[in-house]
Amino acid sequence: MSINDEHITTDVLVLGGGLAGCFAAIKAAEAGAKVVLFEKAEISRSGNGTTGLHRIPLIHPDYNYTFEEFAKLNVQFAAGICDEDVSYEFAKDTMDRILDLENYGVSVRNDDGSFTFQPAPDICPGTPVIWGPGPTVWHNLKPTLAKKVKSFPNLTVLNRTAGVSLLNQDGEIGGDVVGAIGLGTRTGQFVICQAKAVIMTTGGSYRLARHKDSLYAPTRFVECGCPTNCGEGIVMAYRAGADIINMEFAKLTTVWKDFSHWGVGPAMALLRPVDGWRKQFRPEPGEEISLPGIGYKRTMNFGYDTLSPMDYDTSSLEGYPEEKGEMQRFLWALENESTSPGYFLWMKERGEDFRKAPVEFEWHPPYLHNNQAGIHMDADGRSSLNGLYCAGDLTGGGWRHSSGGAFVFGARAGRKAAEYAKEVPLSDSNAEQVDVEKERILEATRVNPRDGYSWIELEDKARQIASEYGPPYTNDPKLERGLTHLERIRTRYLPKLYARSPREMMRVSEVKAVFTTGEAFLRGALFRKESRAPMASLLHKTESPTRDDANWLKHTLFRHLKGEMTLSTKEVKRLGNK
């Protein structure tokens, strides 16, 4: 596998062509920048918007909240760990981004011009969202967005090209970001890109904790989110010296039992549970979530502490045939929720009509998805490094902005990166740093598979350790033990990861990211000496079982200093404070 590297230059480089990356690329191109976009898959169908969305946040004083009210609510639901200014700025732009989608050819309104608001208790009970105006309309949202991306002559898309490393000025960790290295996932060719600004939009990680069937099973990529996303963007930013925050606050969510995909939201929005154990499943705005774990269980847990599957009361629905009434909405909401037509096949194979049979949910293992955890981002999509911007599911600092966050901060990052690119010269990449980063992948190609280990063995082990020792319910001795195991596996066995093909070279970058996110997940939980139960997340420490705002109303900060993961804290921002 010795193909010459490709060398390219650009003003703005976008890593990841999902919902956030597409908006970033569009806005940077509209601002006149020369833009290159690396996408691991193919932009018309990639990331969590692959087969569509069923709901998009829309906050506006004409419909629901003032921006201040929304930001305050978000901070409350985040149990305080949320930069209020970021949520405020997010709310401000949601309408404009929905109007952008409309301009690009996505229908967002009903025939009479109205929006349809429905609850979405899965993404956050307090976040108002609109649903698409009719069946299957949004399942082509991504191809429509991709068409807009491809319409710019100053924008080049490199599909099947995964970002693997950032490049710093003079190769110095913590220095300005001056480019990145991409890897052709089918060619094994490196693409060395000099860029004046880089926007990281590679999504979250659905490969943090162990898949319940383990990676050895044929269900290995049956995940709630796109399995191409395993935290590489967070790790690239971390390794380049950017501030990473709150990695212990992974997302906890319920999914359909045995299918592990999202879709609980439409169920919760439209169907009433009837077994009486979830009276408080939709907390009112202002309602305090009092106890860690228990409060969360009542509000977001469907099936975790119940002993039986849940039945739904569908008597209010106009039932048969399925096309009528609320059942239609439920079905098309499911159809658009990230992954389809898998759901319909799955229900058909079961031979069950969920309107009559009990519905079962289960926990998905903890994952990283636009909760508090990720690259610390300000309201303009800036990271702590000059030249590095970010948006979407890998950002920390805001909280649960969902697809709306991808659109809003993708757009802001795109515009800001284009502005920045006008002011700075193009820098050379540091040859030594390029070699070190290439070698990080290439070393695996020299390992003899007979003496080495597969990506499956190593990734599954790292994720097993994260699951068995990490949040939500854990304690300091357990976390220390987990970190010892992780370090043992990393130092003794990870160097023998082999790669026999370009696809396996891609896995090298992924597996190394899985180890680093797992380490951060455990270290953050160890460092934080309190318990806290934000919505859709949980950390419960045996030795410190209560919330401690006096000492811990802060972001946990992770920095890559002298080759070590170093932890401290960072102030949480509130509106009105600088």
Partner 1 sequence: MEQVKYRGGIIIDYATCTGCGKCYEVCPPDIFDFDQERHLLTVAYPEECWYCGTCIYDCPVDGALRMELPFACL
- 336 near partner 1 (CB under 8 A): no
**Number of residues counted as binding partner 1 (CB under 8 A):** 37
Number of H helices, E strands in the chain: 15, 21
Q: Which of 220, 272, 438, 500 binds partner 1 (CB under 8 A)?
A: 220
- The correct pick among 349, 423, 451, 564 for binding partner 1 (CB under 8 A) is 349
- Of 350 and 488, the one with the shorter C-beta distance to partner 1 is 350
Q: Which one of 66-74, 90-98, 165-173, 254-262 is the stretch in contact with partner 1 (CB under 8 A)? A: 254-262
Q: Is the dihedral of CA 394, 397, 400, 401 positive or negative?
A: negative
Q: In angstroms, what is the minimal distance from the CB of 164 to partner 1? A: 16
* C-beta closer to partner 1: residue 166 or 209: 209
Measured from the CB atom, the residue of 350 and 356 that comes closer to partner 1 is 350
Binds partner 1 by CB under 8 A, chosen from 87, 94, 205, 228: 228
Binding partner 1 by CB under 8 A: which of 156, 342, 440, 475? 342
- In the complex, least distance from residue 143 CB atom to partner 1, rounded to whole angstroms: 8
Of 186 and 356, which has the nearer Cβ to partner 1?
186
Element (H, E) at 164: strand 161-168
Q: How far is the CB of 284 from partner 1 (least distance, A)?
A: 35
Binding-site string for partner 1 from residue 37 to residue 56, where x marks contact by CB under 8 A and - marks none: ----xx-xxxx--xx-----
**DSSP class per residue in 548-577:** -HHHH-EEEEEEEETTEEEEEEEEPP-TT-
Residue ranges in 258-297 that form contacts with partner 1 under rule CB under 8 A: 258-261
Which residue stretch of 253-261, 298-306, 491-499, 517-525 sits at the interface with partner 1 (rule: CB under 8 A)?
253-261
Considering only 221, 428, 449, 488, the residue that binds partner 1 (CB under 8 A) is 221
Single out the residue of 1, 99, 345, 431 in contact with partner 1 (rule: CB under 8 A). 345
352 binds partner 1 (CB under 8 A): no
Q: Are 523 and 565 in contact (CB under 8 A)?
A: yes
Which one among 341, 358, 449, 495 touches partner 1, defined by CB under 8 A? 341
CB of 344 to partner 1, least distance (A): 9
Contact 525, 539 (CB under 8 A): yes
Listed residue (333, 312, 309, 368) closest to 537, CA to CA:
368
To partner 1, the closest distance from the beta carbon of 184 in angstroms equals 12
Instruction: Report residue 8 as tokens.
Output: 């390219």
Question: Distance between alpha carbon 512 and the CA centroid of its chain, in Å?
Answer: 18
Q: How many angstroms separate the CA atoms of 10 and 192, rounded?
A: 11
Tokens for 233, please give them. 């963007």
Task: Round to whole Å and give the CA distance between 231 and 382.
Answer: 18
Does 422 interact with partner 1 (rule: CB under 8 A)?
Answer: no
State the amino acid at position 176 in one-letter form. D
Task: Count CB atoms within 10 A of the CB of residue 360.
Answer: 17
Decide if residue 353 touches partner 1 (CB under 8 A): no
- From residue 200 to residue 219, the character string flagging contacts with partner 1 as x (rule: CB under 8 A) and all else as - is -------------x---xxx
Structure tokens, 216 = 């050895």
* CB of 51 vs partner 1, minimal distance in Å: 5
User: What are the φ/ψ torsions at residue 530 (nearest 5 degrees)?
Assistant: -165, 175
Task: Name the 3-class secondary structure at 35.
Answer: strand
For residue 354, state whether it binds partner 1 (rule: CB under 8 A). no
Q: Does 549 bind partner 1 (CB under 8 A)?
A: no
Task: Tell me how many degrees the CA angle 212-16-218 measures, rounded to the nearest 5.
Answer: 25
- For residues 171 to 200, the per-residue mask of contacts with partner 1, x marking binding by CB under 8 A and - elsewhere, is --------------xx--------------
Which tokens is 84 given?
A: 């209020």
Residue list 137-166, contact with partner 1 (CB under 8 A): 139, 160
Structure tokens at 574: 């509130």
Distance of CA 530 to the CA centre of its chain: 25
Q: Is 503 among the residues that bind partner 1 (CB under 8 A)?
A: yes
Least spacing, CB of residue 349 vs partner 1, in Å? 6
CB 459 → partner 1: shortest distance, Å? 12
Q: What are phi and psi of 222, to 5 degrees?
A: -85, 85
Are the beta carbons of 156 and 287 closer than 8 angstroms? Answer: no
Q: Interaction with partner 1 in 71-110: which residues (CB under 8 A)?
A: none
d(CA 506, CA 181): 12
Nearest to 63 by CA among 16, 14, 128: 128
Restricted to residues 355-384, the positions that interact with partner 1 (CB under 8 A) are none
Shortest reach from residue 520's CB to partner 1, in Å: 25
Cis peptide before 121 (omega within 30 of 0): no
Measured from the CB of residue 235, what is the shortest distance to partner 1 in angstroms? Answer: 20
Nearer to partner 1, 230 or 421 (CB): 230
- In contact, 177 and 167? CB cutoff 8 Å: yes
What angle do helix axes 455-469 and 476-492 make, rounded to 10 degrees? Answer: 170
Secondary structure, 3-state, 94-122? HHHHHHHHHHHCCCCCCCCCCCEEECCCC
Instruction: Kindly tell me which of 142 and 547 has the beta carbon lying closer to partner 1.
Output: 142
Residue appearing with tokens 């169907």? 271
Which of 71, 222, 466, 486 is close enough to bind partner 1 by CB under 8 A?
222
Contact 253, 300 (CB under 8 A): yes
Q: Is 350 in the site for partner 1 (CB under 8 A)?
A: yes
Report in angstroms how near the CB of residue 182 gets to partner 1 at its nearest: 16
CB distance 543 to 477 below 8 Å = no
User: Contact between 426 and partner 1 (CB under 8 A)?
Assistant: no
| Interface with partner 1 (CB under 8 A) | 41-42, 44-47, 50-51, 139, 160, 185-186, 213, 217-223, 226-228, 258-261, 338-342, 345-346, 349-350, 503
